Chain A
Amino acid sequence: MSRGSPRKPPDPASPAPAAHNPAAMAPLHPPAPAGVHPPAGGPFPAGGPFNEELYLRLNPDVLVAVSSGAFRSGREHYERFGRAEGRPTMVPSSLVRDRVVIMADPDRIADKPRAPAGNIDHIKISPAGGIYVVGWVNDSQDRLESVDLYFTGWSISFSAANIARVRRPDAEASVGLLTPQSSGYWGFLYAARRLPATICNAIVRLKSGAELHALVTVDTVEDEELRNITLSGLALAKYVGDPYFAAVQSIDAAIAAQLIDFNQMLTRRAVNAPYIERFGRTDVQYKGSIIVCLFGKTDYMAVQQAIFARQPGIGDYEFIYVCNSPDVTEVLLREARLCSMIYGLDVTVIILNANAGFAAANNLAAKHARSERLLFTNPDVFPRDADWAQKHTAIVQDLPADQTALFGAPLYYDDGSLMHGGMYFELDRSPRFHQGKRQDTAILRVEHYGKGAPPDTADYLRPRPVPAVTGAFISTARGWFETLEGFSEDYIFGHYEDADLCMKSLEAGRPAWLHDAKLWHLEGKGSTRQPQHDGGSAVNRWLFTRHWQEAVARDILGPAPQHASLK
C-alpha cells in the first residue's frame, strides 16, 4: 500500500501522515483528460450507511490489508484512515463505461514498493582489495539507487552514478522486456587493503526504497585474475547503443580510475625482481638498443634475429627482449640460446613475473639498455630494406637532434601496401540518451596517415613531424625518453601509451618525427590477444581522452593540425 502500506496498524492516536497511510485521497478537480472521467460520488458522509463489501471492492489495498490481518475490517480502516484520506465508499450513481474513472489521487495511493526483479550474480574480492560486483536489476520504472554490500566488519555502497550499466539479454528475456535495457550492472573498487570476506549481505536499492536482498557467497580470486575478469567483462558486455562509446561511458564516473589504480599496483608488482640473462658480448657500448616486448608468443624472435642478423652494421646494436609472460620462460631462454649460437647477435632477455603491460616492460628494459638510443620494436616488426640498420644509424648521426629525439618509420603490411606513415588524432562524439537523459561521450581516436596506400606514396614517406608514431617502432634518444619519464604506466596492458608519449614529447617541445627507415609490421601477429586486452583498451581510450582531449582539440586535431611544431 504505497509509500504508506499499512504493514501494521499505525498508532490511532497520531494520525499517520499520508505517506504512511493506505492512500489519502484528495478530490480531483482539474479538467479530466480525454478518456478519463472525474471521480463520481464522494466521501461517505459521517454517520451514513457503510457498505463493507463495496468499500473493500473500491479499495483493493484495504482488502489486502484486511486479509492479512492488519485491520479487522474495512470499516476499521475507514474510521482510522479512510475517512481522512477521502476514500471512496460508494460507486458513482451511474458508472461511466469505457473510461478510466478517477476516484482518488493514484500518485498518493500507489502500490507498496515491491522487491525489484534482479539478481546479484557474483561478488569477487582479491587479496589486494579489489572488489567486483556484478548482477542485474529491472529498474526501468524505479531507478537504481545503490548496491550495498555488507560484510562482516565492513561494508561498501556502490552508488548508481558509479556503477556501470550494461545490457543483459538474459534478464530482458526473463522479465519479458521487449526493448533493450541497461538492466545489467557491475561495480569495481580498489580498496588497497586486504578485506576478509566470505559471506555478503547484498542489497540492491532503488530510488523508491524498494530493495532486493540476497545473501551471497563471496568468490576470492587472485588480483591479476580479478583484473582480467573485470576487463573481460567490460570488453564482452552488451550495450544499448554503440559499444565503442558505451563501454567508455559506462566506466567514466569512477570505475576507470579504480581500474587504473588497481592495475598500477599489479604493474609495480610485476616488474619487481625480474630475471635477466645476457647472451653474447657484455662489455660493449652500442649505438642502439632494440627493445622488444613479448607477450604470449616467442615465435618471431628467431625470425627477427635471422633477418636482423643479415643487416650490415647490426653489430652496433644490442637486442633486449622483455617478456610479460613468465609461462614462456623456458621456450624464450632456449630460443635466445639458439639465436645466440646461430646468429651471434648480442641479446638480453628480461622476464617479468607477471604481465606488467607494454609501458612498464619497455621502461624497465630501457633501464637495462647499454646505449644512448632506444628502439622500441614490436616482435612482429622486421626491416624492409637490406641496409636498414645503416640507414637508422645515419638518421641518428646526421640529422638535427630535435628531429631524432623521438621518431618512427613507415610501416608496411605483408601485402606490400603502406600500413601507415605516422599517426594523427580525431575526436569521435556521440550523443547518447540513457533513461531519458542525454549523456554525450567524446573519445579521441588515433588515425593513421596513408593506411593501405601504395608503398611509395611520397606524401606519407617524407621526413616530417607528425602528431604521433606507433609504439610498434619508436626510436628515441635515451635522455629525452627519460626526460619524458618514459611511457606512462597508467595505461593498462597496451594501446595509447605510444600516442601519450608522443603528446608528452610535443608538449615538451619536440614533436615526434617520421623518418624513412621502412619496416614490415604484421600487426597483432606477434602476441596473443584476449578479451581483457580489449577491456584494457577501453580504459586506455578513456584515459587518453581525459588527458589529451583539450590539448588535441586546441590545435592538434585532424590530419593537418595547426600546431606550430607540426607544420
Chain B
Amino acid sequence: MKILLVSLYHPDLVHGGSQQIAYELFKGLKQVEGVEPFLLASADHHTPAMFKSGARITGFDGRENEFLFLSQGYDYLWHKTPSVNLAESFKEFLELLRPDVVHFHHFMTYGIDYLTLTRKVLPDAKIVFTAHEFLSICAAYGHMRRLTDGSLCNRASAVRCHQCIPALPPEHYFMREIWMKTHLAVADVITTPSRFMIAHYVNWGLDPAKFRHVTNGMRMNVKPFRASTAGRHNRFGFFGQMVDVKGLQVLLRAVALLRAQGFTDFTVEVNGDNIHFATEECRAEIEAFFAAEAELPAASRNVIVNGAYHHDQLRARMARVDWVVVPSIWWEIFCLVISEAWSFGRPVIASNAGGPAERITDGKDGLLFELGDARALADTIYRACTEEGLWASLAQGITPPPTREEMVAGFLEVYAETAQPASSAA
C-alpha cells in the first residue's frame, strides 16, 4: 500500500506539532511491512535555501521518499495556492506516485482545494485529513479562542467570526465555511488526535460518521528518571513557545501572586522561544517580567529562563523540574508536552480545557486549574509545593503516553477501512 503523507513543513526545517506527528507517522509506517510511505512536506519563505530555480517539488536532503513542496504566494484568506504551476506539479506528483492513500496533515501552504484536486486526479484513492487544530472552522489562527475577549469559542458563525476579525463582513465567513466544507467533503475520513475536537466539528455541521479519533504518538526512547518520591517537589517547568495562547504570561502572573502573599519557596524554569511571534502586548508583559527578575539577586529569583531547547536536551531540562505546567489559554489540541512530561514521569498542571482536560485526570495523574486564571494556578502551585504526598501520588498515576506504534496502528486501521461514499454534507 502506497501512502502519501502531506505535511505542513518538514520538522527538520520548521518546528511544529503537526509536522512532527506527520514525520513520526512517516517513520513509523516505514517499519510496517507492505506499506510504502512517502512524505511531501512544504517549504516556504521560512526556508528560502530549499528553493531551486524552476522547481516546485524536489527531494529533500538525499532522504528516501521524502519530498519538498515549494509553496509560494499562499492565499491565507481563502487558504488556497494561486499558482497554476504548483497545482500542476502537485497533480503530476500524484499521477506519478499514484498512492492508495493520500493523508493530509494540514492544508496550509497547499490549499484546502488540494483535497478536491486530489480527488479529481485520484478518484479511487482514499483521502484522509487529520485536523491538528480548527483552521477550517476558525479564521483566527484556528484556535477557536475569541479575539474579542479571549474566551474559548464553542460555535463559529458568520457574525461571531466577523466580531473576531471585523475587517471582513459576515458574508465572507459564511462563504468561507461553505468553501471549507465543500473541500473537506471529499475526505473519506477526518481524524483528530483528541476526542473533544470531534464535537467542535460536528457542531459546525460535519457528519460525525466521518470522524475517527487517532491519538498522536511519539517514539520517546527515554528512560524515566528515578525521581525521589519523598522531599520537596517545588520545581516547575514551562516547555513551549512563548506565544499568547501558550499562556506563559498566566504562569508569570501566578508567580507574582505567590510572591505577593509571601510564598517564594519554588522555582519556575522557562524553556522555549519564539517570543517574536507573540502579540506586542503579551511580549511586553513577559519581557518586563524577565527583566525585573534579572534585577533580583540570584537567590531571590523564582523564574529561570533557559531559552530554546533541542529535543536532545529535553531529558536534561526535564530532570530539573518536578512538575510541568501547561497554562495554555486556548483549547490546546493534544499537547505533546504532556506526553513528554509523562515520559519522564513528571505530573502535569494544566488548564482545564481541550486536550489537557481530556488527557489529564485531575487528582489522579495531574492537576487542572481554571483556564486563564492566574489566581487558580497560583493556588495549584502552592498546593503542589505544600501538600504532602501529592506529587508521589500523581506521579504514580501517570500512564505511559501513546507511542508511535499505537498511532501507526490507529492510522493503518483508518487506511484499511472501506472508503465511505462522498457526502455533500461532509
Are A341 and B171 in contact, CB atoms less than 8 angstroms apart? no
Q: Which residue of A lies closest to B118 (CB)?
A: A342
Contacting B at CB under 8 A, from A279-325, are: 299-300, 302-303, 306-307, 309-310
Q: Given the complex of chains A and B, what is the CA–CA distance between A337 and B175 in angstroms?
A: 21
CA distance A522 to B173 in the complex (A): 11
> Contacting A310 at CB < 8 Å: which of B80, B87, B175, B424?
B424
Q: Quick check: B179 and A341 within 8 Å, CB to CB?
A: no
Please determine whether B88 and A341 come into contact, CB atoms closer than 8 angstroms. yes
Q: Which residues of the partner chain B approach A300 to less than 8 Å between Cβ atoms?
A: 175
- Bound-state Cα–Cα, A307 to B426, Å: 13
B78 at the interface (CB under 8 A from A): yes
Q: How far is the CB of B73 from chain A (nearest CB, A)?
A: 10
**Among candidates A307, A334, A341, A522, residue contacting B182 with C-beta atoms closer than 8 Å:** A307
User: Would you give the 0/1 interface string for B278-305, flagging 1 where the beta carbon is closer than 8 Å to chain A?
Assistant: 0000000000000000000000000000
Does B169 make an interface contact (CB < 8 A)?
A: yes
Q: How far is the CA of A306 from the CA of B169 in the complex (A)?
A: 21
Nearest B residue to A333 by beta-carbon distance? B84
**Inter-chain contacts of B183 with A (CB < 8 A):** 306
Contacts of B91 in A (CB 8 A): 341
Decide if A342 touches B175 in the complex (CB within 8 Å). Answer: no
How far, in angstroms, from A299 to B82 measured CA to CA in the complex? 11
A343 within 8 A of B: yes
Can you list, as one digit per residue, whether each of B75-87 has a CB less than 8 Å from chain A (1) or not (0)?
A: 0001010111001
B158:A414 contact, CB within 8 angstroms: yes
Q: Is B272 in the interface zone, CB < 8 Å from A?
A: no
Across the interface, do B78 and A342 meet the contact criterion of CB distance under 8 Å? no
**Across the interface, do B117 and A341 meet the contact criterion of CB distance under 8 Å?**
yes
Interface members, chain B 100-117 (any A CB < 8 Å): 113, 116-117
- Chain B residues near A307: list those with CB within 8 A: 178-179, 182
| Alpha-carbon gap, A415 to B158, bound state (A) | 8
Contacts of A309 in B (CB 8 A): 116
Residues of A within 8 A of B178 (CB): 303, 307, 382
Query: For A341, what are the chain B residues with a Cβ–Cβ distance below 8 Å?
Result: 84, 87-88, 91, 117, 120
Q: Which residue of chain A lies nearest to B88 when distances are taken between CB atoms in the complex?
A: A341
Give the residue of B116, B169, B171, B425 whose beta carbon is less than 8 angstroms from that of A342. B116
Choose among B78, B120, B169, B182 the residue that contacts A299 (Cβ–Cβ < 8 A). B78
Partner of A414, one of B117, B170, B179: B170
CB distance from A90 to the nearest CB of B (A): 80
Q: Is the CB of A525 within 8 A of B424?
A: no
Nearest A residue to B113 by beta-carbon distance? Answer: A342
Decide: B171 and A522 in contact? CB cutoff 8 A: yes
**Mask: chain A, 386-415; 1 = CB below 8 Å from B; 0 = not:** 100000000000000000000000000011
A343 vs B114: C-alpha distance when bound (angstroms) = 11
Distance of A153 from chain B, by nearest CB (Å): 53
- Interface contacts (Cβ under 8 Å), in number, total 66
Chain B residues lying within 8 Å of A118, measured Cβ to Cβ, are none
CB atoms of A344 and B113 under 8 A apart? no
B185 interfacial contact with A, CB 8 Å: yes
The residues in A between 336 and 377 inclusive whose CB is less than 8 angstroms from any CB of B are 337-338, 341-344
In the bound complex, how far is the Cα of B171 from the Cα of A299, in angstroms?
Answer: 13
Residues on the A chain within 8 Å of B82, using CB:
331, 334-335, 338
List of A residues within 8 angstroms of B169 by Cβ: 525
Give B157-210 interface residues, CB cut-off 8 Å to A. 158-159, 169-172, 174-175, 178-179, 182-183, 185
Q: Cβ of B84 and Cβ of A343 under 8 Å apart? A: no
In the assembled complex, the Cα of A3 lies from the Cα of B88 at a distance in Å of 83
A508-554 contacts to B (CB < 8 Å): 520, 522, 525
- Is there an interface contact between B179 and A303, defined as CB atoms closer than 8 Å? yes
Within the complex, the shortest CB–CB distance from B253 to chain A, in Å, comes to: 40
Question: Distance in Å from the Cβ of A180 to the closest Cβ of chain B?
Answer: 34
Name the one of A299, A334, A343, A386 contacting B424, with C-beta atoms under 8 angstroms: A386
The CA of A357 and the CA of B185, in the complex, are separated in Å by 37
Which residues from B are CB-within-8-Å of A525?
169, 171-172, 175
Give the complex CA separation of A310 and B169 in angstroms: 26
Q: Kindly report which residue of chain A lies nearest to residue B117, judged by CB atoms.
A: A342
Q: B158: which A residues are within 8 A, CB to CB?
A: 414-415
Name the A residues within 8 Å of B116 (CB-CB).
306, 309, 342-343
Q: How close is B329's CB to chain A, nearest CB, in angstroms?
A: 30
CA distance A343 to B87 in the complex (A): 12
Encode contact with B along A499-513: 1 for CB under 8 Å, 0 otherwise: 000000000000000
> Closest residue of chain B to A386, judged by CB?
B424
User: Is A338's CB under 8 angstroms from B170's CB?
Assistant: no
Chain A residues near B83 (CB-CB < 8 A): 334
Contact at A342–B424, with CB atoms within 8 Å? no
Known: A342-B120, A414-B174. A306 touches B84 (CB 8 A): no
| Beyond known contacts A334-B82, A342-B116, A415-B170: 6 more, CB 8 A cutoff | A299-B78, A302-B80, A307-B182, A525-B171, A525-B172, A525-B175
List 7 tightest A-B contacts by C-beta distance, closest first: A414-B174, A522-B171, A386-B424, A342-B117, A337-B84, A525-B171, A306-B182
Mark A residues whose CB is within 8 Å of B: 299-300, 302-303, 306-307, 309-310, 331, 334-335, 337-338, 341-344, 380, 382, 386, 414-415, 520, 522, 525
Residues of B in contact with A (beta carbons under 8 Å apart): 78, 80, 82-84, 87-88, 91, 113, 116-117, 120, 158-159, 169-172, 174-175, 178-179, 182-183, 185, 424-425
13 residue pairs bridging A and B, Cβ less than 8 Å apart: A302-B78, A303-B179, A306-B113, A306-B179, A306-B182, A334-B84, A341-B88, A341-B117, A342-B116, A344-B120, A380-B171, A414-B158, A525-B175
